[in-house]
Amino acid sequence: MKIEAVDFYYLSIPQVRDIGDGSQDALLVRVQAGGFTGWGECEASPLVSIASWNCPMSHSACKPISASVLGQKLDSISDIHCINRLVRENALDLLQADHTLSGIDIALWDLLGKKFGEPIFKLLGYKNTYPKIAYASQLFGDDPQTTLDRARNVTRAGIRAAKFGWGPYGRGSVEEDAAQIAAAREGLGPEGILLIDAGTVWFDDVSAAEKRLDALRAAKVTWLEEPFVSGALDSYKKLSIESGKLLLAGGEGCHNFHQAKNLIDYGGIGYIQIDTGRIGGITTAKQVADYAAQRNVLFVNHTFTTHLALSASIQPYAGLKAHELCEFPFDPSPLGRDFTRTKLSPDKNGMINLPAKPGLGIDPDLATLEKYALEVEIKIAGRNIFKSVPINP
Amino acid sequence: MKIEAVDFYYLSIPQVRDIGDGSQDALLVRVQAGGFTGWGECEASPLVSIASWNCPMSHSACKPISASVLGQKLDSISDIHCINRLVRENALDLLQADHTLSGIDIALWDLLGKKFGEPIFKLLGYKNTYPKIAYASQLFGDDPQTTLDRARNVTRAGIRAAKFGWGPYGRGSVEEDAAQIAAAREGLGPEGILLIDAGTVWFDDVSAAEKRLDALRAAKVTWLEEPFVSGALDSYKKLSIESGKLLLAGGEGCHNFHQAKNLIDYGGIGYIQIDTGRIGGITTAKQVADYAAQRNVLFVNHTFTTHLALSASIQPYAGLKAHELCEFPFDPSPLGRDFTRTKLSPDKNGMINLPAKPGLGIDPDLATLEKYALEVEIKIAGRNIFKSVPINP
């Protein structure tokens, strides 16, 4: 079959707030080929990714993504690899390309899984999947009491692990930050797995991070996530030597294989966190998972948005038993909740199991999503470059 | 003063060809503050960068670039640094942001230079500038004879150095590639400085690059550029050990400081090539130049497009005497040629001298550029997100 159509749907809640909640909008991608439909999601600015789909060519290494996708052959896994290579080569100088490719690549795997009647993890070569320990991902409260309440909600919901991040953490005093960490631990109880996400707040400043290590150790935090931006390898390495058993986690900002590989090779991290909606999709995420396993670094998904993205983000490491933690969107926006009817909710043991259904095993709920759809229109010199099509015609 | 307006002009020749010539289109940026006007250029997909300027916010770390620029204070160099930090923080998850920031940052420096009546290199702390050896950057011919002719043209024009890249190089047999290199050397004569650009053609495959080393050494090539993509640190390092005195060059794909730093720290390169129109502008390019100098790696600009971009790209290392090579657009498209009336052409010794005029010392030729301007219109849910303004009203 040939790729006949690729459509992008910009979805958003009416009022996006200035908070670290990435589930407030979404870019849904539909790929059609040979009578099959695949779905994917870019974890990206919807408009900017849409613009990269059909922008005019600037030169041979700065082509629109469509030039490397539409009309391509899609009969096998190697065809997906071929499309990935083409996009990367033809859009070498188009920075947004990796984010746009991500949603397309996920949809290609979904489509091929549906065609072959196999879940994606089988196509990736995994015979079995292992349940993952769900961790509830949440924002720090504006004060420790709110954080404590949120942590208690996690425990009450039967979830065994929680991550707190963003909000005020890292921006105030060391004492204020310590109070937040202590509150999270108190709310979660002594047995809960506690993860802390600094959201790159210290950029590359090792000393700012070091000052917080005592409080993190006292609260038996499992990992400190993103003390620095993804490229600050040197800072990661220095802090990892200092932090010892308190492992570092990072990588959600990586948008290609080499950036993740470099964090593993040079950053001293214990966990590599990959957003399948940013790194280039399932193809690249699987490549990172294989490399991480080989280097004794634990792979973990980054997913703050929808259950469609959650299925896509677990597939690449579904069969890696030792890599047992899994981020899941605990408190997404109404858009995130409405995205799919099927949910990958944690079971009574707080574990998430991938559906053994073809492709992602989960489809977007188009009838419900219709109300979130925003119409996009782009013209250059009077010519239509992009015009939205209805999501639920 | 406050930043009152930022405008983007999408310029293009009528028919963009599928060749490695980045001068076929351009994104010109105008910043206005306190009665002054600054100009900059993004080396980026024009439409995609425009979309990032005013796209709706997705969340607190995925805001449009405008949110971090419009209305900001601009009285001093530290204000420019502050705007850079803001953009990077507020657009952490907006991949295209670094390319868009680049043109804005250049315009901010141009504007501040005009206000203070000083060239940018003075604002950067350089007392003097040193002439740079111009190297003519060209595409390989489709056959060795064409390459030979092009190399002869360089010598005839009084230019002492030439770079050949892209085209068929690295895609055919080792023998065909060797014939291209020999032709370039023959055309340039024994004294000319010869540089070869593989344009990332081997992605991260060290063995493919190794097979070409003999021919490169035989032709006394000064550097082999971009054998691999910017992130492939390990491949760079391995090849650098193999290539020895034939130095490696790379970095044009870097879009932030850390990526360039990592290439210097871990890639074993001899030259770090920075495109001021991609890495985040003059601010980040200067940071890389300082770091390179400290680590005994030679800084060199990447400029294939206009003389406005050329001035911007030399400013960050204008005062570094030992860093003496300089790429200049030898055979740009009509748009590249028409961009500015003032040209930074090599003198009779083949050297390029920066103008000692305020800011970039060179302005775009708006009256001539008008014919290349493309009107862009972006609407979301019927609301205007972007609409071009006339370049020469």
Give the tens place of pLDDT for each residue, A211-220: 999 999 999 9
For B6-10, what is the mean pLDDT? 98
Contact A380 B47 (CB under 8 A): yes
According to DSSP H, which parts of chain B are helical?
Answer: 46-54, 77-90, 97-116, 120-123, 144-156, 174-188, 206-210, 213-218, 233-243, 257-266, 282-294, 307-314, 334-338, 366-369
Confidence at residue A166, expressed as pLDDT on a 0 to 100 scale: 87
Q: What is the mean pLDDT of residues B338-346?
A: 95
**A2-60 pLDDT, tens per residue?**
999 999 999 999 999 999 899 999 999 999 999 999 999 999 999 999 999 999 999 99
State the smallest CA–CA distance between residue A128 and chain B in angstroms.
32
Cβ–Cβ of B258/A232 closer than 8 Å?
A: yes
Q: Examine the predicted complex and report whether its ipTM is higher than 0.95.
A: yes
Q: Which band of pLDDT confidence, cut at 50, 70 and 90, is reported for residue B248?
A: very high
Q: Is residue B96 over pLDDT 90?
A: yes
pLDDT attached to residue A393: 86
Choose the mutation target among A50, A58, A238 for the interface with B, i.e. most B CBs under 10 Å: A58
Contact check, Cβ <8 Å, B48/A231 = no
Q: In chain B, which residue's Cα lies nearest the Cα of A85?
A: B203
**Distance in Å from the first CA to the final CA of chain A:** 24
Dist CA B243 CA B226 (whole Å): 13
Residue B309: pLDDT band (50, 70, 90) is very high
Percent of chain B's residues with pLDDT above 90? 97
Put simply, the answer to whether B231 touches A92 (Cβ < 8 Å) is no
3-state secondary structure of A385: strand
pLDDT tens-digit series, residues B19-46:
989 999 999 999 999 999 999 999 999 9
Mean pLDDT calculated for residue range A325-354:
95
At residue A317 the predicted structure's pLDDT band, cuts being 50, 70 and 90, is very high
Quick one: which of B391, B331, B358 has its CA closest to B20?
Answer: B331
Kindly determine whether residue B22 and residue A59, on different chains, have CB atoms separated by under 8 Å: yes
Q: What percent of chain A has pLDDT over 70?
A: 100
Size of interface A-B (CB pairs under 8 A): 205
Q: Is the pLDDT of residue B65 over 90?
A: yes
Contacts of A374 in chain B (CB under 8 A): 380-381
Q: Is the pLDDT of residue B50 over 90?
A: yes
Do residue B377 and residue A379 have CB atoms under 8 angstroms apart?
A: yes
Rg (CA), chain B: 20
Cβ atoms B278, B102 nearer than 8 A:
yes
More confident residue, A172 or A1: A1
Residues A269/A237, Cβ–Cβ less than 8 Å: no
- Between the alpha carbon of residue A237 and those of residues A206, A233, A270, A339, B236, the distances in Å are 10, 6, 11, 39, 20
Residue B393 has pLDDT above 90, yes or no: no
From the list A18, A59, A256, the residue facing B16 with the nearest CB is A59
Question: Mean pLDDT across chain B, nearest whole number?
Answer: 97
Choose among B44, B56, B95: nearest Cβ to A47.
B56
- Give the per-residue pLDDT at B382: 96
Q: How many Å apart are CA B102 and CA A294, to the nearest integer?
A: 38
The pLDDT tens digits for B201-210 are 999 999 999 9
Confidence of residue A323 (pLDDT cuts 50, 70, 90): very high
What residues contact A226, with CB distance under 8 A and at least 6 apart?
Answer: A165, A197, A198, A199, A200, A249, A250, A252, A253
**How far is Cα B29 from Cα B40, in angstroms, rounded to an integer?**
5
pLDDT value of residue B353:
96
Give residue B166's pLDDT: 86
Global model pTM greater than 0.90 = yes
In a mutagenesis test of the B interface, which of A12, A15, A59 is the best target, namely the one with the most B β-carbons within 10 Å? A59
User: What is the average per-residue pLDDT within A145-172?
Assistant: 94
Closest by CA to B197, choosing from B226, B175, B177, B171, is: B226
Quick one: average pLDDT of B135-152?
95
